[in-house]
């Protein structure tokens, strides 16, 4: 691992090694394509369908790896995190499969369906105030009381290594991709994806995509300075978080470009994929396709891999319904 700003960036070998450790515990998800989608895109798109992953999202890869690397002594006291999203379910299930306790801090206003999903995996849930400060304070108390290891959703090299395993599988299946495109939230998936491609297919361009209203990665990448996210008012609920110093370093080193899309473009692309591909994807996954459909990324005559990050969505409140 190389050092940058005292932050250790995982190497391709780290990602490859993580993949070999977790491959029997994660689903090898299919890579789908669609003639109608390709007609609209003007190029060949290959969708790596992590919506079919365990817990319905790529997050299970990172959580499985990070929890798998804990020593017996560390593992004994379990793991903890705060999340109301896919990372909570991923940590809960990965801990259950290792046979250790999971302590999940969830905001008191978390949707019941998400609370139930975490509870179904046998995790201990502690409710907190819904602010970032409230969540972190409650997490600290839980960690202090239980001795559990905090598993950060992305500011953790072992998480990044695990997330990169999706891109390894994608490149094993489609070796000649001109581009790989992923959405950027906290940057864990983007970092792991870029590192995986840097070793396996160095000539493949790595593109990040982000909602225009949560463009912290775009601004950070452009200015060379870490910008925290200013607004969390995007339909892409998986992309409301800010980069960390670690993920920013990975992205600076390995990502070629970042593009942003509007909220309307995200919702329209998401619906197009539901209608044409008959798969359920979260708004966050539609961000790369939105960038292509609206001419921000040119795939004319090219082959582009896209990481479909997850399929967890409230079916009572679809974003095209008011």
Give every CB contact of residue 312 below 8 A, 6+ residues apart in sequence. 55, 56, 57, 85, 86, 89, 282
Give the shortest CB-88-to-its own copies separation in angstroms.
Answer: 17
- Taking the least distance from each CB to its own copies, the nearer of 35 and 73 is 35
Give the shortest CB-32-to-its own copies separation in angstroms.
Answer: 8
Q: Which region among 48-56, 126-134, 196-204, 207-215 touches its own copies (by CB under 8 A)?
A: 48-56
271 contacts 31 by C-beta, under 8 angstroms: no
- Taking the least distance from each CB to its own copies, the nearer of 276 and 296 is 276
Give the shortest CB-188-to-its own copies separation in angstroms.
Answer: 21
Q: Indicate whether 28 belongs to the interface with its own copies (CB under 8 A).
A: no
Element (H, E) at 318: none
Q: Indicate whether 275 belongs to the interface with its own copies (CB under 8 A).
A: yes
Q: Indicate whether 271 belongs to the interface with its own copies (CB under 8 A).
A: yes
Q: Is 84 helix (H, G, I), strand (E, B) or coil?
A: coil
Q: Which region among 17-25, 135-143, 150-158, 269-277 touches its own copies (by CB under 8 A)?
A: 269-277
Q: Indicate whether 144 belongs to the interface with its own copies (CB under 8 A).
A: no
CB burial of 2-35 (b: ≥16 within 10 Å; e: otherwise) equals eeeeebebbbbebbbebbebbeeebeebebbebe
Place of tokens 């602010």: 131
Distances (CA, A) of 258 to 80, 191, 265, 281: 32, 13, 16, 21
Q: Indicate whether 122 belongs to the interface with its own copies (CB under 8 A).
A: no
Distances (CA, A) of 229 to 77, 158, 212, 219, 273: 33, 24, 11, 9, 27
- Taking the least distance from each CB to its own copies, the nearer of 102 and 277 is 277
Distances (CA, A) of 130 to 85, 126, 133: 13, 12, 8
62 contacts 160 by C-beta, under 8 angstroms: yes
Task: State which of residues 109, 223, 224, 315 lies at the interface with its own copies (CB under 8 A).
Answer: 315
Give the shortest CB-311-to-its own copies separation in angstroms.
Answer: 4
Q: Indicate whether 320 belongs to the interface with its own copies (CB under 8 A).
A: yes
Give the shortest CB-37-to-its own copies separation in angstroms.
Answer: 13
For residues 180 and 29, give the distance between their C-alpha atoms in angstroms, rounded to a whole number.
Answer: 16
Task: State which of residues 52, 58, 218, 293 lies at the interface with its own copies (CB under 8 A).
Answer: 52
Task: State which of residues 30, 147, 228, 245 lies at the interface with its own copies (CB under 8 A).
Answer: 30
For residues 128 and 138, give the distance between their C-alpha atoms in angstroms, rounded to a whole number.
Answer: 6
Q: Indicate whether 318 belongs to the interface with its own copies (CB under 8 A).
A: yes
Q: Indicate whether 56 belongs to the interface with its own copies (CB under 8 A).
A: yes
Task: State which of residues 51, 64, 204, 260 lies at the interface with its own copies (CB under 8 A).
Answer: 51
Q: Indicate whether 316 belongs to the interface with its own copies (CB under 8 A).
A: yes
Which DSSP symbol is given to 148? Answer: P
Task: Calculate the dihedral angle through the C-alpha atoms of 280, 284, 290, 296, rounding to the nearest 10 degrees.
Answer: -150
- Taking the least distance from each CB to its own copies, the nearer of 29 and 191 is 29
Q: Indicate whether 227 belongs to the interface with its own copies (CB under 8 A).
A: no
Name beta bridge partners: 49: 308
130 contacts 108 by C-beta, under 8 angstroms: yes
- Taking the least distance from each CB to its own copies, the nearer of 253 and 276 is 276
Residues that bind its own copies (CB under 8 A): 30, 32, 51-52, 56, 271, 274-275, 277-281, 311, 315-316, 318, 320-321
């Amino acid at each position: 691992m190389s050092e940058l700003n005292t932050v250790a960036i995982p190497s391709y070998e780290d990602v490859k090694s993580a993949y070999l450790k977790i491959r029997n515990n994660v689903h090898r998800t299919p890579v789908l394509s669609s003639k109608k989608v390709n007609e609209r895109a003007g190029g060949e798109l290959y969708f790596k369908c992590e919506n079919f992953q365990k817990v319905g999202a790529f997050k299970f890869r990172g959580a499985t790896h990070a929890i798998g690397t804990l020593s017996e002594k560390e593992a004994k006291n379990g793991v903890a995190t705060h999340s109301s999203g896919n990372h909570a379910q991923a940590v809960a299930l990965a801990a259950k499969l290792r046979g250790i306790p999971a302590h999940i801090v969830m905001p008191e206003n978390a949707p019941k369906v998400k609370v139930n999903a975490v509870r179904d995996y046998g995790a201990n849930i502690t409710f907190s105030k819904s602010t970032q400060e409230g969540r972190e304070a409650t997490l600290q108390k839980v960690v202090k009381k239980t001795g559990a290891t905090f598993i950060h959703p992305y500011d953790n090299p072992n998480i990044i290594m695990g997330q990169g395993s999706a891109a390894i599988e994608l490149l094993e299946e489609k070796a000649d991709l001109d581009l790989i495109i992923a959405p950027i939230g906290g940057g864990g998936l983007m970092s792991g994806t870029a590192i995986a491609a840097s070793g396996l297919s160095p000539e493949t361009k790595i593109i990040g995509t982000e909602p225009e209203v949560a463009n912290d990665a775009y601004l950070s990448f452009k200015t060379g300075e870490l910008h925290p996210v200013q607004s969390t008012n995007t339909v892409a609920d998986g992309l409301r978080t800010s980069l960390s110093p670690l993920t920013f370093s990975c992205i600076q080193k390995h990502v070629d470009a970042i593009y942003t899309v509007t909220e309307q473009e995200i919702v329209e692309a998401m619906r197009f994929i539901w209608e044409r591909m008959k798969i359920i994807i979260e708004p966050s996954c539609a961000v790369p396709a939105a960038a292509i459909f609206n001419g921000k990324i040119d795939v004319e005559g090219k082959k582009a891999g896209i990481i479909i990050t997850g399929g967890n969505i409230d079916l009572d409140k679809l974003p095209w319904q008011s």
